[in-house]
């Protein structure tokens, strides 16, 4: 890197003195030979470590992702169906259930009525039978 003097910004004498003073007072001590050797050794040691880490990193990342996917898929297989606190409705059962049965089974859960006369929901023939036995 060449440093032609004409590429530097022009400074007057006072500025040049000031800048020179800053540069002189704000500088590190030169490296001792022992420190230079230690610095070089630390650099070589890091250079040797780096390629191994670079080679291992993708492999480790792949293994970690594979383990994560396995854990997630296995845990979802053995987990019970999620409940959000609302009424649980079995859709398969619903298809074979008559509307009146469905109303009877889930009357309290699906309405805001606290107490309700379920008898009003029963079909006529059931009411007749119930009346025979219950009235006794």
User: Which residue ranges make up the site for other proteins (CB under 8 A)?
Assistant: 1-4, 7-9, 11, 13-15, 17-23, 25-31, 36, 39-40, 42-44, 46-48, 50-51
Separation CA 127–CA 119 (nearest Å): 7
- What stretches of 10-79 show up as alpha helix (H) in DSSP? 13-25, 33-78
45 vs 61, which CB is nearer to other proteins? 45
Q: Name residues whose C-beta falls within 8 Å of residue 109's C-beta, 6 or more positions apart in sequence.
A: 87
Separation CA 51–CA 70 (nearest Å): 30
Least Å from the CB of residue 4 to other proteins:
6
Least Å from the CB of residue 68 to other proteins:
29
40 vs 109, which CB is nearer to other proteins? 40
Least Å from the CB of residue 12 to other proteins:
8
Residue 100 near residue 117, CB atoms below 8 Å: no
Least Å from the CB of residue 62 to other proteins:
21
DSSP state of 123: -
């Amino acid at each position: 890197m060449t440093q032609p003097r004409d590429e530097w910004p022009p400074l007057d004498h006072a500025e040049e003195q000031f800048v020179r003073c800053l540069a002189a007072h704000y500088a590190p001590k030169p490296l001792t030979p022992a420190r230079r050797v230690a610095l070089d050794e630390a650099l070589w040691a890091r250079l040797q470590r780096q390629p191994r880490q670079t080679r291992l990193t993708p492999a480790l990342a792949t293994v970690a992702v594979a383990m994560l996917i396995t854990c997630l898929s296995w845990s979802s297989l053995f987990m019970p169906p999620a409940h959000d606190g609302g009424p649980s409705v079995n859709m398969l059962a619903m298809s074979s259930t008559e509307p009146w049965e469905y109303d009877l089974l889930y009357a309290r859960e699906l309405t805001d009525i606290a107490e309700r006369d379920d008898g009003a929901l029963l079909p006529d023939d059931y009411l007749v039978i119930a009346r025979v036995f219950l009235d006794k």
